[in-house]
Chains A and B, each alone.
Chain A
Amino acid sequence: MPIDTGITTELDVQRDHELHEKEKSGTRTMVLNMGPQHPSTHGVLRLLLELDGETILKAAPDIGYLHTGIEKEFEDKTYQQGVTLTDRIDYLAPLSNNLVYCLAAEKLLQLEIPPLAQWTRVMLTELTRLNSHLVWLGTHAIDIGAMSVFLYCFREREEILRIFEMFSGQRMMTSYFRIGGLALPHPRGWNKRVKDFVDIFSSRVDEYENLLTNNRIWTGRTKGVGYISLEDMLDLGITGPMLRAAGLEIDARKDSPYSSYEKFDFEVPTRTENDVFARYQVRVQEMRESLKIIRQALEGMPSGTHQADAPGITLPDREKMKTQMESLIYHFKIVTEGFRVPEGEVYQAIESPRGEVGCYMVSDGTQKPYRVHWRGPSFGNLQATSRLIEGTLIADVIAAIGSMDFVLGDTDR
């Protein structure tokens, strides 16, 4: 007998449909294709639904429409060039991806990262979390019918993107974290920019909550919708806010701190209701906690250099390059040849806005990674789609899959 994996396939849908067709007196069902170009599937997720009236009997997720072979491309680029690919995997949380990739490579190289770079990484990764949660909240609200929240969320997101642009010169594909530290020193005036944002943002979160938390339409569409048992979630590979909304306090920032997260004071918000509304509450609370972390990083930012003392890996100082021949040669060699990374393999996991991002990196001692496997949180989360929506109404599909907060770039890589 085949094992019940909890994952419905397209074949299952077809078989079930034919079975119902054969029973003359039984239910007549309809097979409906949703996506890959459906606006509420946030990208190119395709769902095959078998419907009895408005009830979903079977739901089969189909992915792969955005597969771009990023893992293969890693093997063809030097370690430092690979950073730019990580931005493009999960394009709503580029800096989280930069971070996990750099941490994995730095573990192999056994590099010591200066405190200034570590704290900046924490600060910008938390801004990324805000950025990602804002996009999630805005689009999720628009799916359910609250148009105005979207406009407010994108107003604040714009400010975050401006901060990213200030630091790295890029709004979305930042590549600001490099192996060995940061790409550039802090820009002039960053302090005030981030402080201004931190000062207003708390009241902006209140604004979103005013619009939604007690809104009768919002609670009606989200409370009690999208339940999936904790056992199923752990077994099917779900991570992140969804687990925390089911009462499990799991967060890589606390469980295995990286990049000096252990020095920051913050809580891991949890809920026990385990529905779409609880996931919304967890994410809103996370925004407030991230704000706390950003404020601490802003106030206690250590002084020092932005790159590790690792000649041959980090680029030499620009001023020295203009006056010293050796520095110029080093610069040329690092840029053209890259650097060798000792043989070995590591798995580094961090907490991205969506859950656990894992970077499994295998080095064979050359300038290019031998193999990079990207454990994207969206891939694991999407596996549970069938369990999440089977047996519910079709109108709840939008709310339920929206609450998973997946990014298809991260799923298909």
Chain B
Amino acid sequence: MLEDIAVDIKNPFGEEAIEVAPDNILNALGRLKRDHKFERLTSVTGVDRYPAEPRFEVVYHLQSVANKRRLRVKARVSGANPEIESAVPVYRSADWYERETFDLFGIRFRNHPDLRRIMMPEDWEGHPLRKDYPVTGTRY
């Protein structure tokens, strides 16, 4: 699957997982939906690998109802400019998930129709799920 653009194909714990370059994400998701029958995007989320670079992983979980398969697609974006193309043109369910990822990690999704905070108040400063954000209190 997607051998030509995949950076890494893994099979950990019996789960299928591929990694692509962030520029290819829309292309990859589109092909997976069209050619491999992954009709559903179950979630989009992030992982912060601070202080490693590239800092953020954007993780997409797909499901194929017809073939009873699940797949994890991953792309890494840098900490200095965490930005990736929005998946909304391919999967509309990405809308709120990307807003959540933006809110909690500060990863920006290009061409997202409505990229605002969803969980935290609109005037909140910082992104709580980042590893350099404290668990208690507001500063060290």
Contacts and interface: CB of A to CB of B under 8 A. Distances in A.
Contact of B61 (A72, A370, A371, A375): A375
Interface stretch (B1-9, B20-28, B76-84, B85-93): B85-93
A356 interface: yes
Contacts of A262: none
A55 interface: no
A329 interface: no
Contacts of B135: 72-73, 75-76
A228 B92 CA distance: 15
Contact of B128 (A69, A250, A349, A356): A69
Interface in A206-229: none
Q: Bin the interface of chain A by size.
A: 35 or more
Which of B63, B116, B133 has the most A CB atoms < 10 Å from its CB?
B63
A325 interface: no
B89 A3 contact: yes
A3 B88 contact: yes
A380 B45 contact: no
A135 B49 CA distance: 41
A2 B93 contact: no
Given A9-B114, A235-B92, A346-B15, A64 B42 contact: no
Contacts of B97: 237
A298 interface: no
B40 A234 contact: yes
B18 interface: no
A344 B17 CA distance: 12
B61 A347 contact: yes
A360 B128 CA distance: 18
Contacts of B59: 360, 373
Contacts of B72: 345, 347
Contacts of B39: 234
B51 to A, nearest CB: 13
Interface in B51-73: 59, 61, 63, 65, 68, 70, 72
Contact of B129 (A3, A71, A250): A71
Nearest to B61: A347
Contacts of B65: 234, 248, 250
B12 A346 contact: yes
Contact of A373 (B41, B45, B117): B45
A6 B15 CA distance: 31
B40 A237 contact: yes
B13 interface: yes
Contact of B13 (A5, A108, A370): A108
A256 B96 contact: no
A115 interface: no
Contacts of B43: 358, 360, 373, 375
Nearest to A370: B47
Contact of A64 (B61, B114, B118, B128): B118
A3 B113 contact: yes
Contact of A67 (B42, B114, B119, B133): B119
Contact of B47 (A2, A234, A371, A383): A371
B12 A345 contact: yes
Contacts of A347: 15, 61, 70, 72
B13 A256 contact: no
Nearest to A2: B113
Given A9-B114, A370-B47, A383 B93 contact: yes
B58 to A, nearest CB: 12
Contacts of A110: 13
Nearest to A108: B13
A347 B43 CA distance: 11
The 5 closest A-B pairs by CB, nearest first: A237-B93, A67-B119, A373-B45, A375-B43, A64-B119
Given A5-B88, A108-B13, A413-B119, 8 more contacts: A9-B116, A63-B119, A73-B135, A76-B135, A235-B93, A237-B42, A345-B72, A375-B43
10 contacts: A5-B113, A9-B114, A64-B117, A256-B68, A345-B12, A347-B61, A356-B42, A358-B61, A360-B61, A362-B47
